[in-house]
Amino acid sequence: MLLILEKNISLKAVNELIGRLQWMGFQVVKGHHDNNRESLALVNSLHKQLNPAAFKDLPGVIDVLPLDKPYKLAGTDFKSKPSIIPCQGLSIGGPGIVIMAGSCSVESEEQIMETAKLVAACGATILRGGAYKPRTSPYDFQGLGEIGLHYLSQAAKQYHLLSVSEVMDTTEIDLVANYIDILQVGARNMQNYSLLKNLGKINKPILLKRGLSATYKEFLLAAEYILSAGNPNVILCERGIRTFETYTRNTLDIAAIPILKELSHLPVIADPSHGVGLRNMVAPMSRAAIAAGADGLLIETHPDPDKALSDAQQTINPTMLAEIINSLEPIAISLDRSIIRSQ
């Protein structure tokens, strides 16, 4: 249930109302509905037995709307306008399209510094690199851990980029958040509910990747875990799903982009690198994702892709990245958007 509040309601009155609702047993989340009207969402299951009309008489409430979708806070009933996630002066989800680029893993100080320099020169604004890697085999390179986070954050700062890196475990959240601007939840962890709940307790943006076999509903409910625990800054990432096709590593679900943007106010970005797994397919799928309405891209880029310690076959070089970003410009313009460039 969503309680729409009176215009110009005082903070004191809002807090009193929240206190009263909490005392009644509700979990209450503050929001802004259409026309920036303040609202309170009652998000636990208690309201199911209650009559919405009864809430209209509460002081400060002018309207009561249903929140029938299972993803109450991620859905457009809670917020119909797109959410813009603020990140160190950069806006994710607005008219500007963000490019996140960098290697699959942080490999060494020199390697990530060189990568940062090259992707910044191409126009990317966010540097990616995994320090904690969810590898399918325990014998593959697992990432450099904390020192990798340090190298990534130094390289990002040096070239005026923001940083994104994966957090795999609840016990590492504070550590990763200490170094990194955007915390990534990998596809394999999309339904790690204790990780999601704990990421809801910080306020840094969370880049949530779609699970390998997750439906849109499951994906949005994973986002709901973070939102309902108190962190409104969630970015969804379509990174391909597993299908019967074996030619590609995954099947990038382009339809997910407009569908998620219709179901949810959260920004949606696409990862064509993991989505297809083939270097030569990154450019066309990047263009397809932006044409479908993606708010950004996550692209694995390495100074010498064949030597990348992980995901070499899907990693592109900086020349290819520059070409991709340039080719996105006319698509963005045709959609009344632009590519945010670092330089």
Q: How many CB atoms lie within 10 A of CB 150?
A: 17
Closest to ligand PEP by CB, 66 vs 134, is: 134
The distance of closest approach from Cβ of residue 259 to ligand PEP in the complex, given in angstroms and rounded to an integer, is 19
| Cβ–Cβ under 8 Å, residues 208 and 237 | yes
Interface with Mn ion includes 107 (CB under 5 A)? no
Q: Please give the residues from 283 up to 312 whose contact with Mn ion meets the rule CB under 5 A.
A: 311
Closest to ligand PEP by CB, 188 vs 287, is: 188
Please choose which of ligand PEP, Mn ion, none residue 239 contacts, taking the beta carbon within 5 to 8 angstroms, the exact cut-off set by kind: ligand PEP
The distance of closest approach from Cβ of residue 294 to Mn ion in the complex, given in angstroms and rounded to an integer, is 18
| Cβ–Cβ under 8 Å, residues 290 and 268 | no
Closest to Mn ion by CB, 125 vs 315, is: 315
Q: Please give the residues from 249 up to 288 whose contact with Mn ion meets the rule CB under 5 A.
A: none
Of residues 102, 105, 148, 104, the one with CA closest to residue 125 = 102
Give burial (CB, 10 Å; 0-12/13-18/19+) of 167.
buried
Query: In the 3-class helix/strand/coil scheme, how is 271-309 assigned residue by residue?
Result: CHHHHHCCHHHHHHHHHHHHHCCCCEEEEEECCCHHHCC
Give burial (CB, 10 Å; 0-12/13-18/19+) of 146.
middle
The distance of closest approach from Cβ of residue 132 to ligand PEP in the complex, given in angstroms and rounded to an integer, is 10
The distance of closest approach from Cβ of residue 44 to ligand PEP in the complex, given in angstroms and rounded to an integer, is 30
Please choose which of ligand PEP, Mn ion, none residue 279 contacts, taking the beta carbon within 5 to 8 angstroms, the exact cut-off set by kind: none
| Cβ–Cβ under 8 Å, residues 159 and 131 | no
Closest to ligand PEP by CB, 90 vs 168, is: 168
The distance of closest approach from Cβ of residue 207 to ligand PEP in the complex, given in angstroms and rounded to an integer, is 9
Interface with Mn ion includes 166 (CB under 5 A)? no
**Residue of closest CB approach to ligand PEP:** 186
Within 8 A by CB and 6+ apart from 255, the residues are 292
The distance of closest approach from Cβ of residue 161 to ligand PEP in the complex, given in angstroms and rounded to an integer, is 17
The distance of closest approach from Cβ of residue 26 to ligand PEP in the complex, given in angstroms and rounded to an integer, is 35
Please choose which of Mn ion, ligand PEP, none residue 186 contacts, taking the beta carbon within 5 to 8 angstroms, the exact cut-off set by kind: ligand PEP
Closest to Mn ion by CB, 188 vs 197, is: 188
Spatial distance between the Cα atoms of 234 and 212, rounded to a whole number of angstroms: 19
Q: Where are the alpha helices (DSSP H) in 123-189?
A: 146-158, 173-179
Closest to Mn ion by CB, 104 vs 144, is: 104
Q: What is the binding site for ligand PEP (CB under 6 A)?
A: 104, 130, 134, 186-188, 209, 239, 274
Binding site for Mn ion (CB under 5 A): 104, 311
